[in-house]
Amino acid sequence: MASLSLKNVCKVYPNGFVAVKDFNLEIADQEFIIFVGPSGCGKSTTLRMIAGLEEISSGELWIGDKMVNDVEPKDRDIAMVFQNYALYPHMTVYDNMAFGLKLRKVPKADIDKAVHEAAKILDIEHLLDRKPKALSGGQRQRVAMGRAIVRSPKVFLMDEPLSNLDAKLRVQMRVEISKLHQRLQTTIIYVTHDQTEAMTLGTRIVVLKDGIIQQVDTPQNLYNSPNNIFVAGFIGSPQMNLIDAEVVQNGSSVTLKLSDTVSIPLPAEKSKAIIDGGYVGKTVVAGIRPEDIKDDEEFVAKHSNTTFEAQVKVYELLGAEANLHYDIADVTCTAKVSPRTTARPGDTIKFAMDVSRLHVFDKETEQIITH
């Protein structure tokens, strides 16, 4: 178990490609931290730098109280689980788990103890004599995890370990990994491009784009208070509706004109932030999550000053909820509504939005103005 500290870490490849830029992060002992972002954002490169598989171009990496920039991967006391795992087909589960330790010339008795302990944690003791071909997908994944656990590392590094599994198994393994973190009580750094995985597993999430940290926060804070348009759009599914809006001032209050027919008055606090920021008369970006726009009578009555009419283009029933897609000023928007809605494609219906949940972003810098 250990804390980690990344100070101004950069990765520039010899061909000039900047993969990670000025990465600063403190990871507490026993934390489950997630690196999330689109492909090419530098999340795997950062993980590989922590592992020692990529050299750090500049900056410092500390594991515990030791700077490890020049320490070999095998001496960093870490273990990794990567996406493209393979089990040695001719070896039993026991031998598969023991192989890494044998390579490191760990005494037989210690290997035996480590393998049995890891197997117990993963609940695969009964499978130790089996060969990989006799295992299910989930069991194989657990063996792959077991290979990392037997090393009893200070830090676990996982790079999209579930991305090769089918959807059902993925959900199952997600729960298993969460349980594993509770049992092992160790630091885990987990890379994924799947924001559902990020939201459900992490104690904190690091959102990355173009090698730069966009925001580091708890899943809830990321969802409720995104720092910029990228985070707002990346976290949440369906993604946040982001619409250009003209700022119109009426005395001390502000109205956002989303289109010729849709204008939304803002509450006093949000109005003040926009006026103080000098955005009156300018174009900003309004962001609202699909679940904060509804069509049911009760909601519309409660938010009567933010109603607008739009024609439903697509209706998607997801069981417990339904998504309605419609346009506001040529931008396709989504509303997550009750499955009992009667709205169907072609219908023009009245929506309302919970303006207290509306976010306003600077159009140029893409940074938040007010939540």
Partner 1 sequence: MISNQILQTTVEGLKAISRIDFCVIDSDGKISAKTFEDVQDCIADALAFMDSPAESQVINGYQFFKVYDEQNLEYILLAKGTSDDVYMLGKLAAFQIQNLLVAYKERFDKDNFIKNLLLDNLLRVDMYTRAEKLHIETDVKRVVYIIETKHEKDTNALETMRTLFAGKVRDFITAVDEKSIILVKEVKGNETYEELDKTAQVIIDMLNTEAMSSAHVAYGTIVSDIREVSRSYKEAKMALDVGKIFYSNKNVVAYSRLGIGRLIYQLPIPLCQMFIKEIFGGKSPDDFDDETLSTINKFFENSLNVSETSRQLYIHRNTLVYRLDKLQKSTGLDLRVFDDAITFKIALMVVKYMKYMESKDTF
- Tell me: does residue 127 bind partner 1 (CB under 8 A): no
Minimum distance from residue 85 beta carbon to partner 1 (Å):
6
Please identify, using beta-carbon distances, which residue of 156 and 223 lies nearer to partner 1: 156
User: Which of 7, 12, 5, 3 lies closest to 211, judged by CA?
Assistant: 12
Please identify, using beta-carbon distances, which residue of 48 and 294 lies nearer to partner 1: 48
- Tell me: does residue 220 bind partner 1 (CB under 8 A): no
Minimum distance from residue 331 beta carbon to partner 1 (Å):
20
- Tell me: does residue 68 bind partner 1 (CB under 8 A): no
- Tell me: does residue 49 bind partner 1 (CB under 8 A): no
- The residue whose two tokens read 């939005």 is 353
Question: 174-213: which residues touch partner 1 (CB under 8 A)?
Answer: 210
The arrangement of strands across the sheet holding 32-36 comes to: 78-82, 155-159, 187-192, 32-36, 204-209, 212-217
Q: Are 349 and 309 in contact (CB under 8 A)?
A: yes
Q: Are 236 and 242 in contact (CB under 8 A)?
A: no
Residue type for 130, please? Answer: R
Please identify, using beta-carbon distances, which residue of 150 and 333 lies nearer to partner 1: 150
* The only residue of 64, 100, 138, 265 in contact with partner 1, by rule CB under 8 A: 100
Question: 132-151: which residues touch partner 1 (CB under 8 A)?
Answer: 147-148
The two three-digit tokens of residue 356, written as one number:
């207290």
- The residue whose two tokens read 């207290």 is 356
Burial class (CB in 10 A: 0-12, 13-18, 19+), 243: buried
- Tell me: does residue 38 bind partner 1 (CB under 8 A): no
Residue type for 308, please? Answer: F
Q: Of the ranges 68-76, 200-208, 334-342, 344-352, which one interacts with partner 1 (CB under 8 A)?
A: 68-76
- The residue whose two tokens read 């109205």 is 255
* The only residue of 39, 65, 84, 250 in contact with partner 1, by rule CB under 8 A: 84
- Tell me: does residue 70 bind partner 1 (CB under 8 A): no
Q: Of the ranges 74-82, 113-121, 184-192, 284-292, which one interacts with partner 1 (CB under 8 A)?
A: 74-82
- Tell me: does residue 166 bind partner 1 (CB under 8 A): no
Q: Count CA within 13 A, CB hemisphere, residue 26.
A: 2
Please identify, using beta-carbon distances, which residue of 13 and 136 lies nearer to partner 1: 13
187-192 and 241-250 beta bridge pairing: unpaired
Please identify, using beta-carbon distances, which residue of 19 and 114 lies nearer to partner 1: 19
- Tell me: does residue 53 bind partner 1 (CB under 8 A): yes
Please identify, using beta-carbon distances, which residue of 16 and 319 lies nearer to partner 1: 16
Minimum distance from residue 284 beta carbon to partner 1 (Å):
17
CA distances from 97 to 119, 150, 220 (A): 9, 7, 37
- Supply the DSSP symbol for 30: T
Minimum distance from residue 324 beta carbon to partner 1 (Å):
33
Please identify, using beta-carbon distances, which residue of 91 and 329 lies nearer to partner 1: 91
- Supply the DSSP symbol for 306: G
User: Which of 276, 270, 316, 322 lies closest to 295, judged by CA?
Assistant: 322
Q: Of the ranges 46-54, 57-65, 117-125, 197-205, which one interacts with partner 1 (CB under 8 A)?
A: 46-54
Residue type for 44, please? Answer: S
- The residue whose two tokens read 């009419």 is 309
Q: In the complex, which residues of this chain contact partner 1 (CB under 8 A)?
A: 13-19, 48, 51-54, 72-74, 79-86, 88-91, 99-100, 103, 147-148, 210
